[in-house]
Structure 1
């Protein structure tokens, strides 16, 4: 008998989303996948760069996420960029949909991972950053890095 998986194994993360958006809320959602998609994810292959989520008929769908075809899959293989349904509770869906209706908000995927053997997606409610916001965050990160570097060299003396 196989042992049950424990913990969180990250397959793909969208680091660019944190650069391009102000993250307001994050949610963990299940994702409805085909068998070959699960096998491709277990091989550690996925891209979230162009991914986004939108509401259609009261359901949340993940679009633009690229899960490549499974190598050993035959005619049962999936389309790499197909729509995938996100599984959330109704009250969470209602809360997210009311916030998305406000101007400038969108839903972006931050990470795809396996949690206790089940595929999950971390999605975020976000607003887009302006160009000057991106420059400010880069400058702050660089200043923090330089300050940390100065502190470590001072400690070593």
Structure 2
């Protein structure tokens, strides 16, 4: 968890399974009207979402924010692209990193910090199938060791 992280809204648990996360960046997110009310109600889903750098700006795609129930005609499209707010130096670093083969920007968490919605994005390198199997083996072995230690004491 980053230092000073506020109220956790949503978390992308699949990201740790599918990617080696090398760096993380905290970004603000541009939301419209009733979207922030849905975010505060924790109606956010990261499934199949990703971030791209286009024309010096970072956008998040396929992040589903459910329509606000009392929003009627003021609601917005649930999976529209949303702009992420980062410093210019961070964006320049991301442009260089994402142009390398196998790297992509993955949203990891969404939270509210000091009344403002933030997204934690990670620079991730995709895992191969054998890497995922190795991780599952390591996890199972750790679980077995913890279980044995618990029974012992």
User: Does TM-score exceed 0.5, indicating one fold?
Assistant: yes
Separation of aligned partners in 1, 2:49 and 2:24? 15
Among candidates 50, 53, 76, match of residue 52 of structure 1: 50
State the partner residue of 1:23: 21
State the partner residue of 1:33: 31
Matched, 1:142 2:135: no
State the partner residue of 2:65: 67
Structure number, greater radius of gyration: 1
Alpha-carbon distance, 1:7 to partner: 5.9
Contact 1:41–1:67 at 8 Å: present in 2 too? yes
Gaps of 5+ in 2: none
1:81-120 equivalent positions in 2, closer than 5 A: 81-120=79-118
State the partner residue of 2:131: 133
Deviations 1:48-88 (A, max 9, x none): 01110001111000001000100000211110000100000
Gaps of 5+ in 1: 1-5
TM-score normalised by the chain length of structure 1: 0.93
C-alpha change, 1:137 and 1:7, in structure 2 (3 Å) is closer
Aligned length: 150
TM-score normalised by the chain length of structure 2: 0.95
